[in-house]
């Protein structure tokens, strides 16, 4: 193996990236959205139909994530969800990390909801 291919493998993400506008197509494939932010962030605003599993609980709650369905990981900016994506790939899931996180989601004009179905905000 040459140095070029070794470097490429070392820096290649084991998961895909999806932009907010591409989420709808994945949801059409029965994807699930896992929001790994802290509880206060989650309560303030989230993507509709997202499931909340904070990053620090992901390892012990892995069994809650169905097999055979694409998984979209999301956080505020995309960093924590990238770590979550790596963990999920190790467990055999097909994973897409939301580029730019909930900030990008909101900038794209996609809905952000809070408890009770009211409009939410990204904190």
Strand partners, 14: none
Q: Is 119 helix (H, G, I), strand (E, B) or coil?
A: strand
For residue 70, the cross-strand partners are none
Taking the C-alpha atoms of residue 105 and residue 121, their distance in angstroms, rounded to an integer, is 11
Catalytic residues, which ones? 75
Q: How far is CA 104 from the centre of its chain?
A: 12
């Amino acid at each position: 193996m040459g140095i070029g291919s070794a470097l490429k493998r070392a820096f290649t993400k084991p998961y895909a990236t999806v932009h907010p506008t591409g989420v709808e197509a994945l949801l059409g494939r029965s994807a699930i959205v896992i929001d790994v932010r802290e509880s206060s962030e989650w309560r303030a605003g989230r993507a509709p139909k997202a499931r909340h599993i904070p990053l620090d609980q992901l390892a012990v709650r892995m069994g809650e994530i169905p097999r055979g369905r694409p998984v979209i990981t999301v956080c505020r900016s995309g960093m924590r969800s990238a770590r979550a994506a790596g963990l999920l790939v190790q467990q055999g899931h097909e994973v897409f990390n939301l580029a730019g996180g909930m900030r990008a989601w909101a900038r794209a004009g996609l809905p952000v909801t809070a408890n009770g179905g009211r409009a939410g905000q990204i904190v």
